[in-house]
């Protein structure tokens, strides 16, 4: 059993959905981002999405875009993300990288898969890579033992769902709404329908993201999804802090609230 599967199974055995938290590597600095990710783990996050900041983030809303811009201005690179992966792994959680395809391609597909595995990473979420164009990534990730996560959306056709679920081997990321992160609340009814549709094509866990920021929302999603993904809310918690220590405490507290929320 892979590390992602084990994390989802452990959560299921406790009568809850897995809690997945996202932060961009290098936000607000390289050292602080690693510390905040460890605080997420201490608060109860099972899986951490380490975001690779990118200058053209088509899926991300203004909160994540601003955080990514801060990270890039501070010099964040793929090596920053890999260092965060190691920090998460050492803290006892499962680490994934969420990255647009261009940074991976520039780094070198095979090298990235190998370096991620060496850093302790379990998987990569590629929001803008279609399964039809993922041959090189499939080969490289299989060789390195790194799992693949692709996205589906409410607009995905049954054909698209079949393509995505057959190409993935980690989990399926179900976007709860059309649009970008952090701009609207998740539509639970739409998300539940999408999860049910995805499950007709795969036995992989299905995790729901976009528009989830509170324990109440997490609880609603957890009733039908295998995992609940939260990103912008963690960034807002950091932005509201008056010091790095306060930010770390706020991140851990939010993770703890969300962990209670994902109970079934």
Catalytic residues: 49, 60
Q: Which helix (H) or strand (E) holds 151?
A: strand 147-152
Distance CA 177, CA 156 (A): 11
Q: Are 173 and 125 in contact (CB under 8 A)?
A: yes
Q: How far is CA 107 from CA 28, 82, 158, 160, 236, in A?
A: 23, 12, 33, 28, 30
Alpha carbon distance 148, 219 (integer Å): 26
Quick one: DSSP state of residue 176? S
CA-to-CA distance for 122 and 46, rounded, in angstroms?
13
Distance of alpha carbon 30 from the chain centroid:
18
Residue 125 pairs with which residues in a beta bridge? Answer: 98, 149
Check: CB of residue 48 under 8 Å from CB of residue 88.
yes
- Peptide bond between residue 28 and the one before it cis (omega within 30 degrees of 0): yes
Q: List beta partners, residue 174.
A: 152, 208
């Amino acid at each position: 059993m892979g590390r992602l599967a084990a994390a989802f199974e452990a959560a299921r055995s406790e009568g809850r959905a897995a809690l997945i938290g996202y932060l961009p590597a290098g936000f607000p600095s390289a050292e602080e981002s690693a510390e905040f990710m460890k605080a997420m783990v201490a608060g109860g996050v099972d899986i951490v999405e380490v975001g690779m900041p990118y200058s053209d983030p088509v899926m991300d809303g203004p909160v994540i875009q601003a955080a990514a811009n801060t990270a890039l201005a501070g010099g964040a690179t793929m090596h920053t993300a890999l260092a965060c992966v190691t920090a998460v792994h050492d803290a006892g959680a499962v680490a994934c990288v969420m990255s647009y395809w261009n940074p991976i391609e520039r780094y070198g597909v095979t090298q990235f898969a190998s370096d991620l595995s060496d850093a302790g990473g379990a998987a990569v979420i590629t929001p803008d890579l279609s399964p039809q164009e993922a041959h090189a990534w499939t080969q490289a990730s299989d060789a390195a033992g790194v799992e693949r996560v692709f996205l589906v959306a409410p607009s995905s056709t049954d054909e698209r769902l079949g393509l995505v679920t057959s190409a993935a081997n980690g989990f399926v990321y179900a976007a709860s709404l059309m649009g970008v992160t952090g701009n609207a609340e998740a539509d639970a009814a739409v998300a539940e329908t999408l999860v049910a549709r995805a499950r007709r094509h795969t036995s992989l866990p299905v995790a729901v993201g976009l528009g989830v920021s509170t324990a109440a929302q997490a609880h609603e999603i957890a009733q039908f999804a295998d995992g609940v993904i939260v990103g912008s809310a963690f960034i807002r918690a950091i932005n509201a802090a008056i010091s790095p220590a306060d930010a770390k405490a706020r991140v851990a507290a939010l993770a703890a609230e969300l962990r209670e929320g994902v109970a079934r």
